[in-house]
Amino acid sequence: MKEYIQENRERFFEELFSLLRIPSISAKQDHKKDMERCAERLKELLLEAGADEAGVYPSKGNPVVFGKKIINPEWKTVMVYGHYDVQPPEPLEKWHTDPFEPVIKQDPTGQEAIYARGANDDKGQLFMHIKAFEYLLRSGKLRHNVKFIFEGEEEIGSPSLPAWVKEHKKWLGADVILVSDTTMISDKVPSINCGMRGMAYLEVTLTGPDKDLHSGHYGGTVANPIQTLCDLISGLIDKDGRVTIPGFYDDVVELSRKDRAQLARAPFDLKEFEESVGVKALRGEKGYTPLERIGIRPCLDVCGIWGGYIGEGAKTVLPSVAHAKISMRLVPNQESAKITRIFKKHLEKIAPKYCRIEVKPCEGGEGFLIPISSPAFQAASKAMEEVYGVKPVPSRGGGSIAVLADMQKILGVDPLLMGFGLERDTIHSPNESYLLRQFFAGMESIAKFYEYYE
């Protein structure tokens, strides 16, 4: 694979860049045409790589790309999952380059990286699978059937894919769902995610007066919805970093000492971590390490809060309405519907009578675990050890790919998370990047996975 990469390096960049230039932003309705363009381009790349069939199929939302190469029905089938939608690039002023005009340049450590929205999450990572498949097929080394399923709504919670998977279940038989949409703990020691968190995402609206009021005439007498909302939110987490919603931890399973010791094998440099995110100290649930807080514990975060006047200059108003978007990352065994329900009940109970509260569920999905004893996990471990020279560490991902739990349930097939991103890649933030050495090591590792997966 190394030689194939060197021979085709510039072509790989051209093909990937053709995807990265498409602003396939699922969160914005005015990018529907871009979603369709990106799906069509992926179909072309699958056919060019050697897929027997590839098509763009409608769903209730953005189109699904499905392709396959069936060599021998008796052989094992690997189904590759990825997503072609990306996060909005805002704030644009924070980008050093155009988010949809990819460039290769040195990162702050002097290493070459691709800079663009989607460079890592997930266009760069799904592209590795297409090229590894292309290499194996053209070199005559492919000993598996391969299917590809790429969706365009992962960044908004995959609302349409579960129904599409149910409808097309007969197409989707496989032995493993292979995914590269996660990160490694460190570029020094590779890791393989053996589980991910679920999520419940909600929007809270608090309304006071029926219109904005003069802050001089009414301030100090009429309750301010923004201040009231801040009071409510600040009480959702206590001084020890625990969520205060009654019943929130009821279904959380504590890890054994053995499992916690296994996770502790992962290299973690506190100072380096703090510097990478630009803070001088960390805060979280008492009694757990930073890696445990990220991977095996649930949490609550305010993702956005707004209201009142935020334009240039001064406008002395007492606002009528305040809003907040809140995410709760959940561990396996917690149900997003239940957490959404108890959150709503709690907020409605504690909201003061001088404001009206509305809690609107937005997204939800379950966490899941992957057995590390499975043949697929062991094959991935061998492949990455051969490429990196170090045995990978099992880890638990802090993010959410909710649809994988749905696919696991509908199809009865376990996912395998071979992610090659790093936290330094700043996905979902300005200046998203993907180190070239990770990009190419990912291709090599994926090709090796097929060699070891029996």
CA distance 89 to 113: 18
**3-class DSSP assignment, residue 383:** helix
Select from 109, 39, 190 the least CA-distant residue to 433.
109
**What is the per-residue pLDDT for 188?**
79
The structure's pTM equals 0.84
The residue behind tokens 């979603």 is: 35
**What is the per-residue pLDDT for 53?**
98
Question: CB 157: neighbour CB atoms within 10 A?
Answer: 19
User: Do 405 and 366 touch, CB atoms closer than 8 A?
Assistant: yes
Which stretches in the chain have pLDDT values below 70? none
Question: CB 340: neighbour CB atoms within 10 A?
Answer: 19
**What is the per-residue pLDDT for 153?**
97
**What is the per-residue pLDDT for 316?**
96
Distances in Å between the Cα of 168 and the Cα atoms of 162, 165, 244, 366, 402 are 10, 5, 42, 22, 19
All domains in the chain, ordered by first residue: 2-196+367-452 (3.40.630.10), 198-252+298-365 (3.30.70.360)
Residues whose CB is less than 8 angstroms from the CB of residue 251 and which lie 6 or more positions away in sequence, other chains included = 333, 334, 335, 338
**What is the per-residue pLDDT for 124?**
99
**What is the per-residue pLDDT for 308?**
96
Tokens of 421: 């991103």
CA distance 340 to 203: 11
Residue 196 bridge partners (DSSP)? 368, 397
Select from 5, 9, 11, 17 the least CA-distant residue to 114.
17
Question: CB 11: neighbour CB atoms within 10 A?
Answer: 10
**3-class DSSP assignment, residue 293:** helix
**What is the per-residue pLDDT for 398?**
87
pLDDT in tens, 98-138: 999 999 999 998 999 999 999 999 999 999 999 999 999 99
